[in-house]
Amino acid sequence: MLNGKKVVLGVSGGIAVYKAVALTSKLTQAGADVRVIMTEHATEFVTPLTFQAISRNPVYTDTFDEKDPAKIAHIDLADWADLVLLAPATANILGKIANGIADDMLTTTLLATQAPVYVAPAMNVHMYQHPAVIQNLHTLENWGYRFIEPGDGYLACGYIGKGRLEEPENIVELLEMETNRTNNWMGKKVLITAGPTREALDPVRFFTNYSSGKMGYALAQVAMENGAEVILITGPTTLTPPVNVTTIEVSSADEMFEQVKSRYENMDIIIKAAAVADYRPTLRNEHKMKKQDGPLTLEMERTTDILQYLGQHKTKQFIVGFAAETQDIVRYGRKKLENKNLDAIVLNDISRKDIGFASDRNEVLFMTRDGKEQAIEQDSKKNIAKQIIQLIDSELRKV
């Protein structure tokens, strides 16, 4: 998806410059034509020759080094680029561009380009949290710059915290995702639920299920790639939230219901992929329960049926439910579709060991209210999500 794309990679002076070498390699392997601009301080860490060898293109370091007399280099590069990537972006370079300073090859090019600019910050955790840096980030965001958040971990300065340059392969994946973005759902508001819920028994124990959240997260990412404004309401998972998706973390069924209830009226599409607990302990013990002799009997009560509430109160929303079943899948799915006033439902056979909960793969049946059934054969959950979104889009076009 980056094949043939013209990428200007701006490299500023921080220890993460070594990652920019790997990033150049990954971009080139993905088929991009990469032109590197280095600040003077960046050359203190890695020589321009290294980037030249990896990119197989000249490296730019000096505004006044005009390689072609017929062209102004920084204007020519600014016009040439399909996208500009600033990685690593130090606090210094962020301050310069946020205040319109253009005193070297990189900053003059950034001011001149009309291409999308992606910024991947990298710095000490306390620098990243400084009010000046935060203000500069907000300024650039308001101007339309797009950010690739730094990761948490061990920093070169010895601190542990947020500030590590995102890994090169993840940056390339994000850029591929961005270039593959379509506008089919531009202007649509989509709410997706994902993951399990936890129903507390006491401060250390809870009831839950095997849902990993992978399907819901994949749906959120694909909906975002199609141009939608996506809100993901998720139970506890180990997954990294999709980029450019508003993610709201909850724990219990009640918390998920309240978050959904407060937002559903403004939504165009609701996809309820979460595995919400049907029951919770009637009483939650304030202190840890102690072991006793003999069996333990607990009284459980129903949680609010979120999907039924949505079906009863929907106005303009297109509502898609999920049904995880182990037997009579079609019969139970059709019953759920009708009883809860859904527009469509995705049926998932969780009795199989090769798909379903916790697996990276799935195989589902998409069923609509008018009786249409579409089998989606086994594939990665990301590809399953793409097909589900396409089927929802086809149904919306009928309206």
Q: What is the pLDDT of residue 5?
A: 93
User: Which are the contacts of 60, defined by CB distance < 8 A and separation ≥ 6?
Assistant: 35, 36, 37, 38, 73, 74, 77, 105, 109
Tell me, yes or no, whether 105 and 214 share the same domain: no
Domain termination site, one of 179, 205, 236 = 179
Is 322 annotated to bind a ligand? Reply is yes
Q: What is the pLDDT along the chain (399 residues), one digit of tens a residue?
A: 788 999 999 999 999 999 999 999 999 999 999 999 999 999 999 999 999 999 999 999 999 888 778 788 899 999 999 999 999 999 999 999 999 999 999 999 999 999 989 999 999 888 888 999 999 988 888 787 888 888 766 656 665 666 788 899 999 988 887 776 656 898 999 999 999 999 999 999 999 999 999 999 999 988 988 889 999 999 999 988 887 899 999 999 999 999 999 999 999 999 999 999 999 999 999 999 998 899 999 999 999 999 999 999 999 999 999 998 888 889 999 999 999 999 999 998 887 777 767 677 889 999 999 889 999 998 888 889 989 999 999 999 886
Q: Residue 239's domain is classified under what CATH number? A: 3.40.50.10300
101 is catalytic: no
User: Which are the contacts of 147, defined by CB distance < 8 A and separation ≥ 6?
Assistant: 118, 119, 120, 121, 137, 140, 141
Please report whether residue 29 resides in a domain.
Answer: yes
Tell me, yes or no, whether 109 and 255 share the same domain: no
Domain span at 128: 6-179
CA–CA separation, 1 and 177 (whole Å): 8
Q: Residue 92's domain is classified under what CATH number? A: 3.40.50.1950
Tell me, yes or no, whether 160 and 241 share the same domain: no
Q: What is the pLDDT of residue 155?
A: 59
Please report whether residue 384 resides in a domain.
Answer: yes
pLDDT in tens, 328-362: 889 999 999 999 999 999 998 887 777 767 677 88
Is 288 annotated to bind a ligand? Reply is yes
Q: How many other CB atoms are found less than 10 A from the CB of residue 129?
A: 13
CA–CA separation, 342 and 318 (whole Å): 8
Q: What is the pLDDT of residue 49?
A: 97
CA–CA separation, 320 and 134 (whole Å): 39
Please report whether residue 184 resides in a domain.
Answer: no
Average pLDDT of the chain to the nearest whole number: 91
Tell me, yes or no, whether 198 and 165 share the same domain: no
Domain termination site, one of 153, 179, 205 = 179
Of 96, 111, 113, give the one whose Cα is nearest residue 8: 113
Number of domains in the chain: 2
Tell me, yes or no, whether 106 and 155 share the same domain: yes
Tell me, yes or no, whether 230 and 148 share the same domain: no
Please report whether residue 350 resides in a domain.
Answer: yes
Domain termination site, one of 179, 202, 220 = 179
Please report whether residue 1 resides in a domain.
Answer: no
Tell me, yes or no, whether 125 and 168 share the same domain: yes
CA–CA separation, 128 and 155 (whole Å): 12
Q: Show the tokens assigned to 35.
A: 């032109």
Tell me, yes or no, whether 169 and 193 share the same domain: no
Q: What is the pLDDT of residue 188?
A: 94
Tell me, yes or no, whether 231 and 379 share the same domain: yes
C-alpha distances in Å from residue 111, one per residue of 71, 99, 116: 17, 11, 12
Annotated catalytic residue within 1, 125, 157, 396: 157
Tell me, yes or no, whether 154 and 206 share the same domain: no
Please report whether residue 245 resides in a domain.
Answer: yes
Bridge-based pairing of strands 160-164 and 151-154 is antiparallel
pLDDT in tens, 311-331: 999 999 999 999 988 888 899
Please report whether residue 57 resides in a domain.
Answer: yes
Residue in this structure with the two tokens 């918390």, named with its chain if needed:
255
CA–CA separation, 327 and 308 (whole Å): 22
Q: pTM of this prediction? A: 0.61
Q: What is the pLDDT of residue 145?
A: 87
Q: What is the pLDDT of residue 160?
A: 61
Tell me, yes or no, whether 162 and 264 share the same domain: no
Tell me, yes or no, whether 41 and 128 share the same domain: yes
Bridge-based pairing of strands 33-38 and 189-194 is unpaired
Please report whether residue 332 resides in a domain.
Answer: yes
Is 381 annotated to bind a ligand? Reply is no
